[in-house]
Amino acid sequence: MTTPPVKRFRLALLGLGVLAASYGSSAFAACSYVITNEWNTGATGEIRVTNSTAAPISGWSINWQYATNRLSSSWNGKVSGSNPYTATNVDWNGNLQPGQAATVGFQINKNGGSAEIPTISGSICSGSSSAGPVSSSSVPRSSSSSSITVSSSSSSLQSCTQQCNWYGTLYPVCVTTTSGWGYENNRSCISRATCTSQPSPFGLSNCGSSSSVVSSSSLPPSSSSSSRTSSSSSSRVISSSSSVVPSSIPSSSSSSRPSSSSSVVPSSVPSSSSSSSVNSSTKGVFRVNAQGNLTKDGQALPAQCGNWFGLEGRHEPSNDATNPSGAPMEMYAGNMWWVNDSKGSGRTIDQTMKELKAAGITMLRLPIAPQTLETNNPQGMVPNLKNHPSIRQTNARQALEDFIKLADQNNIQIFIDIHSCSNFVGWRKGRLDARPPYVDKDRVGYDFRREEYSCATTGNPSSVTKIHAYDKAKWIANLKDIAGLPAKLGVTNLVGIDIFNEPWDYTWADWKALSEEAYAAIDSVNPNLLIIVEGISGTANNQDGTPDTKDEVPHGNPDLNPNWGENLYEFGENPLNIPKDRLLLSPHTYGPSVFVQKHHMDPAQTECEGLEGDSAADLDCRIVINPTVLEQGWEEHFGYLRAQGYGILVGEFGGNMDWPNKTSQADRTAWSHITTNVDQQWQTAAVNYFKKKNIHACYWSMNPESADTFGWYLTPWDPVSANDKWGQWTTLDPRKTTLLNSLWGK
């Protein structure tokens, strides 16, 4: 399998200077078409609409048509048609002041031809002369040269200043080296010193010169590619009669696609929140910048993240006196026993937020069920709430909204995860229309099987007596509802929506199609949000109507199993058609306390090769945590995309550091031969890998009420010896504090 080459960052920066030269001054045409990257089967590019008049423009529409090429995706514009195509502005780029520009990004399939340069038409383009776009097919290439030359007869000090200001905003944490170039996380970047003192195409000291040559050998080395990527160099020599830098910033480009022999120098830098896509009057705009890092309103956003598991709901056991077999954790029912006639810990949510903030948390992932959004669901109302009246909300929806507003007041960012298709089905689902038999139907000593519930209206086994129907239409409605919360609540802390938790029962093609529909739905309500997309798993429903039979799906080395939600292996060849600066990939990964995988087996026990889970426990298989083996799996499942500049925020990782102690009696018995801290070793290996790859991650969880992971907070609760103390939190676990401080660089 081939994967896209790495876009070396220093080349992308130089490419922006090249793009500036190609557009020229305001005497040029208002509409232009540029190929920014090309490979054997496709290309990416930009259509730029520049207001070259003296009056403001309110709204615009452009048209183009190909002979052989066809559009495969686009961003920063509303595109319709199927050749010819029409693009109109979106909310934030329709009003252009004189000299301002808007950019529509696109990706094309070449369909056996070359990358075409079509004519851009439309009323806004009428009467304009074309300077001619810069395309990869029209630029001389040389594998033996590594220099990029930009020649000009005139330049603008004001434009150069604007460009330097932009770099200083986009890369505010860029560290200046002695050479003047910025350097961060093994990537070169423009620094303020470069703008003010260094001779370069971007520096103020160079703004009055007639030409400049920058050799790549004089720049800091760019980041090395992973074993799954390849790159090569090329050069561009471009001459223009004028080189005034455009007053607006180029928008995002899609990921590059495979190239067998060369890597075309991009002519623009992928967008971030400091691009023209961010309205300066709007707050709470979240983007992924050119380095794959999160930003809020154009500023770097630390992703020191944890999961607020269960939202103070719980699975009510079958023998519960008030609500037998009631709502599971994914519904915000507000029945944590924090304050229960002085029997609980006396804790409040605000107190906990302040403690987490002081400990370093800047972001929380918030799992919900569709029923959480309802104001009249009985599982989220009295008499099913056990809290003290002083902290009891009216219903689940109010509790959710209060939580978001309280987090906003504490400057904690939130992203909401649709964690299930039903509050009664819970975490086990795997698809929107999940149906039994579920994966834990034969789990020993387990009270929460729920074989009588289904989210599907058809194809259910005889065990189903209760249907909580869920489908794509209801899911889309939920996504739009959540996307509207910032406006409704007056908050600016909703980062985005994790569109569905661990969709392990889909193929990549099916999940890709659903993810792209989710993006369109969310964007139609709130273009400020990120679309957070998890991976799939190693198997999927075989679509024959039999829910307990699965087909294998590609995930690389068959000996390295992905966790549910971890598998983004096929993304490399079949990426999501979602703008790169709006997309946050969010795989999940866990160690043996959640599930013992076959790559956890001790290789010295040949009888255990290929075993996992209960079958491995039955043979008393030993567990060996080998970071090298683990990293091979992480790299091919999702890590390779980090080198391509994608934003990655692991949505869930963590575990029970005392495993197999402090878990269910069944697990303690099955794994009693494990006497070392294997899950703590796994968590340490995961953090080391995340740091190496500059990947952020959300710890599961803050809450300690899960027997397979426990939480950052300690608790006197034990599922075997102290089950009556469920819901009481004390202080933070110092082992996990050390782990998270290491991840955060503290």
Comparing 307 with 50, the larger pLDDT belongs to: 307
Q: Where are the alpha helices (DSSP H) in 484-550?
A: 485-489, 508-525
Residue 363 bridge partners (DSSP): 305, 413
What are the angstrom distances between the C-alpha of 220 and each of 8, 297, 442, 692? Answer: 11, 29, 57, 19
Within 13 Å of residue 483, how many CA atoms lie on the same side as its CB? Answer: 23
Comparing 353 with 723, the larger pLDDT belongs to: 353
Q: Which two three-digit tokens encode residue 540?
A: 């999927």
Comparing 213 with 721, the larger pLDDT belongs to: 721
User: What distance in Å separates the CA atoms of residue 633 and residue 301, rounded to the nearest whole number?
Assistant: 28
CA-based R_g, the chain, Å: 27
- Residues 46, 502, 534, 566: which is the catalytic one? 502
Contact 320, 326 (CB under 8 A): yes
Q: Give one DSSP letter per residue of 617-638, joined into a string.
A: HHTT--B---HHHHHHHHHHHT
The answer as to whether 685 is a domain residue is yes
User: What distance in Å separates the CA atoms of residue 222 and residue 10, rounded to the nearest whole number?
Assistant: 7
User: What distance in Å separates the CA atoms of residue 730 and residue 733, rounded to the nearest whole number?
Assistant: 9
Domain boundary among 246, 262, 277: 277
Q: Quick check: 683 pLDDT over 80? A: yes
The reply to whether 145 and 196 lie within a common domain is yes
pLDDT of residue 294: 97
Contact 346, 337 (CB under 8 A): no
Which residues, other chains included, contact 442 with Cβ-Cβ below 8 Å and sequence gap of 6+?
A: none
Comparing CA positions, the residue from 399, 432, 406 lying closest to residue 418 is: 432
For 336-345, write each residue's pLDDT tens digit.
666 666 666 6
Q: Which two three-digit tokens encode residue 17?
A: 């200077």
pLDDT of residue 192: 39
The answer as to whether 289 is a domain residue is no
User: What distance in Å separates the CA atoms of residue 347 and residue 359, rounded to the nearest whole number?
Assistant: 17
Work out the percent of the chain whose per-residue pLDDT is above 70: 71
Q: Which two three-digit tokens encode residue 606?
A: 């040949």
pLDDT of residue 270: 33
Q: Quick check: 658 pLDDT over 90? A: yes
The reply to whether 307 and 269 lie within a common domain is no
User: What distance in Å separates the CA atoms of residue 341 and residue 349, rounded to the nearest whole number?
Assistant: 17
CATH number (domain holding residue 147) = 2.60.40.290
Q: Give one DSSP letter per residue of 631-685, joined into a string.
A: HHHHHHHTGGGGGGT-EEEEEEEE--TTTTTTS-HHHHHHTTT--S-HHHHHHHH
Q: Quick check: 24 pLDDT over 70? A: no
- The per-residue pLDDT of the chain, averaged, comes to 76
The reply to whether 304 and 247 lie within a common domain is no
Q: Is residue 124 packed enough to be buried (19+ CB in 10 Å), middle (13-18) or exposed (0-12)?
A: buried
Q: Does 516 participate in catalysis according to the annotation?
A: no
The reply to whether 637 and 738 lie within a common domain is yes
The reply to whether 344 and 207 lie within a common domain is no
Contact 9, 193 (CB under 8 A): no
pLDDT of residue 312: 52
Residue 33 bridge partners (DSSP): 47
For 257-282, write each residue's pLDDT tens digit.
222 222 222 222 333 333 333 443 56
Q: Quick check: 310 pLDDT over 90? A: no
Q: Does 502 participate in catalysis according to the annotation?
A: yes
β-strands 647-654, 696-700 pairing = parallel
Comparing 727 with 181, the larger pLDDT belongs to: 727
When pLDDT is cut at 50, 70 and 90, the band that residue 546 belongs to is low
Work out the percent of the chain whose per-residue pLDDT is above 90: 50
Range name among 447-456, 562-571, 719-728 with the lowest pLDDT average: 719-728
The reply to whether 268 and 307 lie within a common domain is no
The reply to whether 495 and 593 lie within a common domain is yes
- Ramachandran region of residue 466, left (φ > 0), alpha (ψ -120 to 50) or beta? beta
Q: Where are the beta strands (DSSP E) in 478-607?
A: 494-498, 530-533, 539-541, 550-552, 583-585
Length of the chain: 746
Q: Give the pLDDT mean for 249-263.
A: 29
- Residues 116, 330, 534, 652: which is the catalytic one? 652
What angle (nearest 5°) sits at the alpha carbon of residue 656, between those of residues 714 and 628?
135
The answer as to whether 285 is a domain residue is no
Range name among 328-332, 487-491, 509-513 with the lowest pLDDT average: 328-332
User: What distance in Å separates the CA atoms of residue 597 and residue 440, rounded to the nearest whole number?
Assistant: 16
Residue 213 bridge partners (DSSP): 149
**25 alpha-carbon distance from chain centroid:** 38
The answer as to whether 291 is a domain residue is no
pLDDT of residue 624: 98
Q: Quick check: 609 pLDDT over 70? A: yes
The reply to whether 314 and 363 lie within a common domain is yes
The answer as to whether 186 is a domain residue is yes
- Dihedral sign, CA of 291, 293, 297, 301? negative
Range name among 263-272, 401-410, 508-517, 607-616 with the lowest pLDDT average: 263-272
When pLDDT is cut at 50, 70 and 90, the band that residue 644 belongs to is very high
pLDDT of residue 211: 29
Q: Quick check: 225 pLDDT over 70? A: no
Q: Give the pLDDT mean for 12-25.
A: 26
When pLDDT is cut at 50, 70 and 90, the band that residue 656 belongs to is very high
When pLDDT is cut at 50, 70 and 90, the band that residue 678 belongs to is very high
Q: Give the pLDDT mean for 564-576.
A: 97
User: What distance in Å separates the CA atoms of residue 699 and residue 4, rounded to the nearest whole number?
Assistant: 30
How many domains, in total, are found in the chain? 2
The answer as to whether 639 is a domain residue is yes
DSSP state of 488: H
Domain boundary among 244, 277, 310: 277
Q: Give one DSSP letter per residue of 189-209, joined into a string.
A: E--HHHHHHS-STTSGGGTT-
The reply to whether 265 and 352 lie within a common domain is no
The reply to whether 223 and 368 lie within a common domain is no
pLDDT of residue 725: 81
> How many helical (H) and strand (E) elements, i.e. helices and strands, does the chain have?
13, 30
Q: Is residue 361 packed enough to be buried (19+ CB in 10 Å), middle (13-18) or exposed (0-12)?
A: buried
User: What distance in Å separates the CA atoms of residue 683 and residue 659, rounded to the nearest whole number?
Assistant: 12
The reply to whether 339 and 256 lie within a common domain is no
Residue 88 bridge partners (DSSP): 61, 78
- Domain residue limits at 547: 300-744
For 311-322, write each residue's pLDDT tens digit.
556 667 888 888
The answer as to whether 284 is a domain residue is no
End-to-end CA gap in the chain: 38
CATH number (domain holding residue 528) = 3.20.20.80
pLDDT of residue 690: 98
The answer as to whether 295 is a domain residue is no
The reply to whether 261 and 310 lie within a common domain is no
When pLDDT is cut at 50, 70 and 90, the band that residue 171 belongs to is very low
Q: Quick check: 432 pLDDT over 90? A: yes
Domain boundary among 209, 244, 277: 277
User: What distance in Å separates the CA atoms of residue 462 and residue 464, rounded to the nearest whole number?
Assistant: 5
